[in-house]
Amino acid sequence: MNQIIKIDNVSKFYNRKLKALDELNLNIDEGEIFALLGPNGAGKSTLINTICGILNFDSGTIKVNDLDIIKNYRQTRSLIGIVPQELNLEAFETVWNNVNYSRGLYGKSPNHKYIKSLLKELSLWDKKDSKLRELSGGMKRRVLIAKALSHEPKVLFLDEPTASVDVELRKDMWKVVKRLKQKGVTIILTTHYIEEAEEIADRVGIINNGKIIIVDEKSRLIKKLGQKILKIEINSKIDRIPKSLEIYNLQISNKGKTIIYFYDTKSERTGITALLSELKNNGIQLKDITTEQSSLESIFLNLLKESKNELVRP
Amino acid sequence: MNWYGLKAIYYHEMDRMRRTLFQSLISPIISTSLYFVVFGSAIGSRITEINGVSYGSFIVPGMIMLTILTQSISNASFGIFFPKFTNTVYELLAAPLSSFEIIIGFVGAAATKSLIIGCIIIATAGIFVDLNIEHPFIMIFFLVLTSVTFALFGFMIGIWADNFEKLQLIPILIITPLVFLGGSFYSIDMLPEFWQKVSLLNPVLYLVSGFRWSFYEIADVSIFTSLITIFFFLFSCLAIIIYSFSKGYKIKN
């Protein structure tokens, strides 16, 4: 697949001291939804602002559609749209004027038909004559998306698009993102919400301390790194794990009625058979057994823990 | 050249004037009228003619310059400061626009607003005194040149300022005194010799003098010296802005 963004050894310092991006490498495939996860201050916003030209960087190269973003800034920037994290809008302008203004900035001739369809798609048409200060937070977020899409970009950056929005709007946003993907737009989103990445992303990258810790397809990441969870529901309540079962690192939940066992699907022996037989030997009667795949959230937390111990994966 | 981008910035800035039309136009008309009442009629009637021009007429070019300078600076500085303040500047930085195009958009709009106000003041002055413009084209040339130059200077202040206090600091502390001491309301011949020499260090003197020459063919310094001084100031401002904007000074981290 064609790589629309190529980031090669990019470093960025704030005030020549604080290293926000640390020789970062990352490639984004054309037409994919890429979720960039990371804790606060990891470098997510710095990275996307750097690609968009909002921030300078100190070393390395960034290419968009095989064009250098410094030498060919006109071509590369016209391919990109960005939705910032904060609801930064001019208070006294109308929705219609402000979205058309954004299209003009990107060097596109006026196209009222397209802007009309865009506002309708984002449920903003009824508000086109409203002043931006009169809109709710959710509506302002939609206006920012409309502004970012006003020049029909090939790549869309969404910086925390669903931060502090309600569940309904979040799901609406996900629908919009999926529709854009169908139209061939490459989407890169930063998020704190693991479920957001799980729901819409094709690939996930995890960033911490200005470095990409890992990048992989969402499903493969879960499969590759995820532990499976075996939940054993028992007939009688137990207060503590019997001594002979301590080697399994079991956990008790559901007020003593469920035993939880974590196992690695990649290992040759999962230990499930032995565990079940030990339970029987201890007179524990099973009621039900279920397995679950661990979530991206637990993977994310594990990776961060590892990266703190400087176990950085390539 | 991103013409649509340039046009978008220009009309966006002009739209700000439309939204505050009353305040933008009425305020200079009122202040000009007050200057005429106080300096032109009340005090001016007791002052003899200066180089054959009545005092009321003599102060017209200086008053226009006073307003053009302050309006150009405040319009341009506010124009670029506002997106910085509201954090909407990201859009300008992410758009496929060169520093030069952004500057032309903002400075062009600020200079246009000043020119409109300048024309209103000339019309207002015509109500109070008999206006005789000897060189109308040179007068317009000076008007445009001054508006653009000081809009560039205002743009510099807008980039540098990171709060409202700094935005007001230079216009209040430096520009207003320079305008008042730059021969707006008097000829420097009326000053003691020492202060005449000190006045020659004031760049605003050259603007007012050149501009007054276009009205009445009387000047404190030669018209060429005035032009050279303004052009020098214009290109200095332009060079500083292009350099600082391209480096991202106070705009990009």
Task: Output the pLDDT for position B23.
Answer: 75
Task: Tell if the CB–CB gap between A56 and B253 is shorter than 8 Å.
Answer: yes
Nearest CB to A14; choose among B8, B87, B253: B253
Q: Where are the alpha helices (DSSP H) in chain A?
A: 44-52, 73-78, 95-105, 112-121, 137-149, 167-182, 194-200, 218-225, 272-281, 296-308
Closest chain A residue to the Cα of B248, Cα to Cα = A56
Q: Is B248 in Cβ contact with A56 (below 8 Å)?
A: yes
For an interface test with A, the pick among B3, B18, B23, B91 (most A C-beta atoms closer than 10 Å) comes out as: B91
From B15, B93, B97, residue closest to A54, measured CB to CB:
B93
The minimal CB distance from A78 to the residues B12, B96, B98 is found for B96
Check CB contact under 8 Å for B94 and A75: no
Residue B104: its chain A contacts at CB < 8 A? none
Asked if the Cβ–Cβ distance from A84 to B96 is below 8 Å, we say: no
Alpha-carbon gap, residue A220 to A204, rounded angstroms = 10
Among A145-159, A233-247, A292-306, B227-241, whose mean pLDDT is lowest?
A292-306
Nearest to B120 by CA among B220, B7, B24, B1: B24
CB contacts of A74 in chain B (<8 Å) are: 2, 96, 98
Disruptive mutation site among A47, A105, A140, A145 for chain B (greatest number of B CBs within 10 Å): A105
Domain boundaries, chain A: 3-223, 227-293
State both tokens at A74: 């006109």
| pLDDT at site A102 | 93
Q: Per the CB < 8 Å rule, is A104 touching B92?
A: no
**Does the pLDDT at position A279 exceed 60?**
yes
Alpha carbon distance B144, B112 (integer Å): 8
Residue B82: how many other CB atoms lie within 10 Å: 16
Encoded tokens for A68: 């250098």
Contacts of B8 in chain A (CB under 8 A): 101, 103-105
Lowest mean pLDDT among A182-191, A194-203, B20-29, B59-68: B20-29
Residues belonging to chain B with any Cβ–Cβ distance to chain A shorter than 8 Å = 2-5, 7-9, 12, 15, 19, 82-83, 86-88, 90-98, 248, 252-253
Residue A109 in this model has a pLDDT that exceeds 80: yes
Q: Which chain A residues touch B7 with a CB distance below 8 Å?
A: 104
Q: Say what the pLDDT of residue B35 is.
A: 81
Which among B5, B82, B88 is the nearest to A106, CB-wise? B5
Encode pLDDT of A18-61 as tens digits.
888 988 999 999 999 999 988 788 888 899 999 998 898 889 99
Distance between terminal CA atoms of chain A? Answer: 21
Which of B4, B87, B253 lies nearest to residue A86, judging by beta carbons?
A: B87
Strand order in the sheet with A59-64: A18-29, A3-14, A59-64, A67-68
Contact list in A for residue B2 (CB cut-off 8 A) is 74, 107
Calculate how close chain A gets to B244, using CA atoms only, in Å. 13
State whether B86 and A91 contact (CB < 8 Å).
Answer: yes
Sheet with A251-253, strands from edge to edge, namely A251-253, A258-263, A228-234, A286-293
Of all residues in chain A, the percent with pLDDT exceeding 70 is 90
Domain range A3-223, CATH class: alpha beta
Question: Are B8 and A105 inside 8 Å of each other by CB?
Answer: yes
Residue A141, pLDDT score: 87
Neighbouring-strand partners of residue A10 = A24
Residue A1 has pLDDT above 70, yes or no: no
Residue type at A152 in one-letter notation: E
Cβ-based contacts of B87 with chain A (< 8 Å): 84, 86, 88
pLDDT digits (tens, 9 = 90+) for A219-269: 777 666 667 788 899 988 888 888 888 888 888 888 888 998 888 766 777
Q: Phi, psi (5° rounding) for residue B152?
A: -65, -40
Tell me what pLDDT residue A310 has: 47
Q: For strand A155-159 and strand A186-191, is the pairing parallel, antiparallel, or unpaired?
A: parallel
How many CB pairs below 8 Å do chains A and B form together? 75
Scanning B51-190, the segments in alpha helix (DSSP H) are 55-85, 89-94, 99-128, 136-160, 164-170, 176-180
Residue A314 has pLDDT above 60, yes or no: no
Q: Which two tokens stand for residue B36?
A: 């005429």
Inter-chain residue contact B12 with A101, CB threshold 8 Å: yes
The dihedral sign for the CA sequence B163, A145, A107, A188: positive
pLDDT the model gives residue A307: 62
CB contact under 8 A, A107 and B90: no
Task: Locate the chain A residue with the closest alpha carbon to B91.
Answer: A102
CATH 3.30.420 for the A227-293 domain, yes or no: no
CB A180 within 8 A of CB A202: no
Give the pLDDT score at A312. Answer: 39
Cβ-Cβ contacts under 8 Å, B94 against chain A? 52-54, 77, 80, 82
Least confident piece of the model among A92-96, A250-254, A271-275, B22-26:
B22-26
State which residue of chain B sits closest to A79, comparing Cα positions: B96
Interchain contact, A84 vs B95, CB within 8 Å: no
What whole-number distance in Å separates Cα of residue B88 and Cα of residue A291? 49
**Burial (CB count within 10 angstroms: exposed 0-12, middle 13-18, buried 19+), residue B102:** buried
For residue B27, which of B88, B62, B71 has the smallest C-alpha distance? B71
CA distance B240 to chain A (A): 19
- Give the residue extent of every domain in chain B: 3-247
What one-character DSSP code corresponds to residue B191?
S
- Side-by-side strand order, sheet with A203-208: A80-83, A155-159, A186-191, A33-37, A203-208, A211-217
> Nearest C-alpha of chain B: how many angstroms from A103?
8
Residues A77, B95: C-beta atoms closer than 8 Å: yes
- Given a cut of 70, the residues of chain B with pLDDT beneath it are 253
* Whole-number Å distance between alpha carbons of B156 and B237: 7
